[in-house]
Chain A
Amino acid sequence: MALSPTPAPPPASDPVLELRGINKSFGAVHVLRDVDLSVYEGQVTALVGDNGAGKSTLVKCIGGIHTADSGEYFFDGAPVTVNSPRDASDLGVEIVYQDLALCDNLDIVQNMFLGRERRRGWVLDEDSMEQIAEETLAGLSVRTVTSIRQRVSSLSGGQRQTVAIAKAVLWNSKVVVLDEPTAALGVSQTAQVLELVRRLADNGLAVVLISHNMNDVFAVADRIAVLYLGRTAAQVSTSEITHSQIVELITSGQTEALGPGAGRNGVNR
């Protein structure tokens, strides 16, 4: 495959979500250093990097769990501040966290609507929530769940993952971030989740997918962003980079073909 020496130009449209120069420290640990990230509608952007590179921390900054120490957050081109999970979901940004963040003692419906319950007056509108949850799950081709009034604790890893994803797409969201959604899954469930990820993007959502599996990344991603020790090592289009180059970027932060600091002077303008 012919390699272009410079990263591809950004897609025609402007990014729906853009981060510039994000810094985040936990005490003395400087986890994120001037991180840039652009996410586009209708595309799957893979976010890759070694363990501890700062992917989950970046995701938590996007989702308002952590507040970045410095840096800019743009949504639809406008600067915004996201200081709480509410702020993020109000923008239409939904996160499926690595540790899922489901309440084991609640059932599927309750988990999907948690914090944003439908109500009639003071009372929960259980029936309409159940109906919408059922439709959403059916829309995601989830057939393995016997009852959506089942406690989440009784679900398999893949089923839990699907519930978490269904929870994220329930809300007319524009950006869905998935932190290692296939890490704990078997072959067929991984394929199902990846298919689902692709379908979400094809339906016009901006999807960010974190994964350590390069086969998965190349199978579904349109663009790849690489984090190396808390810095953006590159943001490139999938068609312009090879497997081995990505691995090089992940492990050393640079690759000859792209040169050092591809993310800095590359796509992100």
Chain B
Amino acid sequence: MTSSVLPLADKSESDAPESPVVTHIKDYVARLRGGDTGAMPAVLGLVVLCTVFAIMRPRFLSAGNFANLFTQGAAVTVIAMGLIFVLVLGEIDLSAGFASGVCAAVLAVLLTEHGWPWYAGVLAALVVGAVIGLVLGVLVAKVGIPSFVVTLGAFLAFQGVSLLLVKGGTNVPVRDSTILAISNRNLAPIVGWLLAAATVGGYAALQLRRNRSRMRRGLSAEPIAITGIRVGTLAILVGLAVYVLNQERSRNVVISSLRGVPIVVPVLVVLLLIGTFVLRRTPYGLSLYAVGGNREAARRAGINVDRVRISAFVICSTMAAIGGIVAASRANSVDSNTGGSNVLLYAVGAAVIGGTSLFGGKGRVLDAVLGGAVVAVIDNGMGLMGYSAGVKYVVTGVVLLLAAGVDALSRRRAEAAGLR
């Protein structure tokens, strides 16, 4: 190793003694100032929106409505999670909405008209999604058509495929109980609590293990107090959510009981964990950020740029397929408009509102969840207040533009501060 033969310089003289927590908070504030806003805007927006809606319509805070938020927002959030992979590259997939519609139609047709078992139908939908992504990715990376154009063309084409699959204006019902359970059934309350405990405990264990291993190597570790605050916040949020979701939501308990965490929630959590692991902890994830940050540098580092770009589209469309399955489950049917109208824009909006940059190089799977929550809250809250779909679209569109504006401004700010 060359470094060992070079004279070792004295390490940077340590700063004035300062509590590590204070240093940590200062670092965070400096990052905020520098335009690296992270989850801040989405979380703030969520708090403001929830407060406003809760005051205007107390029913917004009811357990039933809380559960609705998850099932309403789930499909868009899953599609947004997939979009993150493409957005990190600085590309866009405008066809993700209708790709989810096509996959949902494939599922419904196979289950209902051909009597396939649910797992075979789900597998087929996922394969169709992956193939769609492969085609889009090859057109973008190998042929060299801008992703905007490729996916705009696919947007129209998939709408047509959807129409053909469900035969015009009809809709294909979904009756398979497993598929329907995803968006319509709940976990037993005790299972909800166990999963919550496992989530918080697992998070705490991971954080502590990481800190210990860094300390062993003499690397700067996060102060234990900050770790404590993180874990504590997560525990409170998860605990509160599970508590509310475990309340009785049925209007008439005698007829049927309705309580527990909707099954779609653990589905979202698992996708979030896998996505975050891939992006944050694997060499593949790093190569996505590298290609999004500086494609030429990535190429010179020996990264197979074409393969990375194609794979991102495959992941995006496969996630869209999962989103389509969730949507089919929620609607109990698939029609030619599944994945259409506002779905794609809501998904892009969710990603951007969550903090993913449209310029590439920056984004987390968590952004899709936070932004998806904002979109779902706007949609749901304004619905409760009796606004028409027209007003909801306008407001959501404006919020998307607002988020894109914040993205562009924080980028300019980072440039001005020499951070880019």
Interface residues of A (CB under 8 A from B): 63, 65, 84-86, 89, 95, 97, 99-106, 110, 114-117, 119, 122-124, 127-128, 130-132, 134-136, 138-143, 145-147, 151, 153-154, 156, 169-170, 172-173, 199-200, 203, 205
Q: B3 near A115 (CB under 8 angstroms)? A: no
Report the Cα distance A48→B418, complex, angstroms. 31
Segment at the A interface, from B285-293, B319-327, B401-409:
B285-293
Identify 9 new A-B residue pairs, CB closer than 8 A, beyond the known A85-B300, A99-B296, A110-B286: A85-B302, A95-B300, A102-B294, A119-B283, A127-B214, A130-B217, A132-B3, A136-B1, A141-B7
Q: Check B361 against A138 for contact (C-beta < 8 Å).
A: no
Return the chain A residue nearest B420 by Cβ.
A153
Q: Which of B8-16, B150-158, B262-270, B375-383 contacts A (4 or more CB under 8 A)?
A: B8-16
**CB-contact partner of B6 in A95, A139, A156, under 8 A:** A139
Interface flags for B396-420 (1: CB within 8 Å of A; 0: not) read 0000000000000000001001111
A86 CA to B388 CA, complexed, in Å: 58
Query: Of residues 177 to 226 in B, which have CB atoms within 8 Å of A's CB atoms?
Result: 213-214, 217-220
Question: How long is the Cα–Cα vector from A134 to B218 in the complex, in angstroms?
Answer: 11
B283 touches A101 (CB 8 A): no
Instruction: Judge whether A203 and B2 touch: CB under 8 Å.
Output: yes
Q: List A contacts of B419 (CB < 8 A).
A: 151, 153-154
A-binding residues in B (CB < 8 A):
1-12, 34, 213-214, 217-220, 281-283, 286-287, 289-290, 292-294, 296-303, 361-362, 414, 417-420
CB of A140 within 8 A of CB of B3, answer yes
Contact B282 A138, beta carbon cutoff 8 Å: no
Q: Which residues of chain A have C-beta atoms less than 8 A from B5's C-beta?
A: 139, 203
A65 engages B300 (CB within 8 Å):
yes
Contact A105 B361 (CB under 8 A): yes
Question: Contact check: which of A65, A127, A136 meets B213 at CB < 8 Å?
Answer: A127
In the complex, residue of chain A having the shortest beta-carbon distance to the beta carbon of B362: A105
B301 and A115 contacting across the interface, CB-CB below 8 Å: yes
| A116-B302, A138-B8, A153-B420 known; A104-B361 Cβ under 8 A | yes
Given contacts A127-B217, A139-B7, A170-B2, contact A101 B414 (CB under 8 A): no
**Which residues does chain B contribute within 8 Å of A127, judged by CB atoms?**
213-214, 217, 219
Residues of the B chain whose Cβ atoms lie less than 8 Å from the Cβ of A100: 297
B5's nearest neighbour on chain A, judged by CB, is A203
Q: From known contacts A115-B303, A170-B2, infer whether A124 and B293 are also in contact, taking CB-CB under 8 Å.
A: no
